[in-house]
Amino acid sequence: MKKSNQFSAVMVCVILICASCLLAQDWPQWRGPNRDGKVKGFEAPRQWPNELTQKWKKTVGSGIATPALVGNKLYVFVRQGDEETTICLNAGNGNEIWKEKYTAQAVTGAAGRHPGPRSSPTVTNGKVLTIGVGGVLSCLDASNGEVLWRKDPFPKVVPRFFTTMSPVVVD
């Protein structure tokens, strides 16, 4: 198993463990509900367990971004081969609910060491938004993965190290 795949699978497990501590608080975008990395209402236990119990593990692909958690669904944006893929998983057991993918731009040069997305999905109003390494902006139906719209920038002009940001929804 490649290191990036191991990282992705481990990241999902870490998010799930944290999610159970958050008492089902949604984490719908990069750095949480307010993009400030803060969890409201969390009280640390008086004594932490010596060891955490892994509930499930799933290899999803390569990427360097966090998943989004809304309700009992975990949304992951990764690269699988030549495709950028958004996967919706059941947060309780890791089962795949839906998957949507498109052929992604090849990542070249120094950035090629990390070809996966650098964008955490943003979930709002029943939609999932992602930005791929080539700047492809996608909006999917959160319930079934149907593409509502997709904007592929043309001409392909991307930064030297490709696109590295997460969608922000305003109003």
Nearest CA-CA partner of 49 in 22, 21, 30: 21
Q: What is the CATH number of the domain that holds 127?
A: 2.40.10.480
pLDDT tens for 78-116 read: 999 999 999 999 999 999 999 999 998 888 877 777 888
Mean pLDDT is highest, among 24-33, 55-64, 151-160, for 55-64
Q: Give the predicted TM-score (pTM) of the model.
A: 0.79
159 occurs within a structural domain: no
Which SS3 state, helix, strand or coil, does residue 15 take?
Answer: helix
Task: Please tell me the predicted confidence (pLDDT) of residue 67.
Answer: 93
For 92, the domain range is: 3-33+62-151
When divided into structural domains, the chain yields a total of 1
38 occurs within a structural domain: no
73 occurs within a structural domain: yes
Could you give the percent of the chain with pLDDT greater than 70?
A: 80
158 occurs within a structural domain: no
Task: Please tell me the predicted confidence (pLDDT) of residue 72.
Answer: 95
113 occurs within a structural domain: yes
Task: Please tell me the predicted confidence (pLDDT) of residue 14.
Answer: 46
Task: Please tell me the predicted confidence (pLDDT) of residue 154.
Answer: 61
Whole-angstrom distance, CA of residue 167 vs CA of residue 121:
7
pLDDT value at 146 more than 60: yes
Whole-angstrom distance, CA of residue 70 vs CA of residue 130:
15
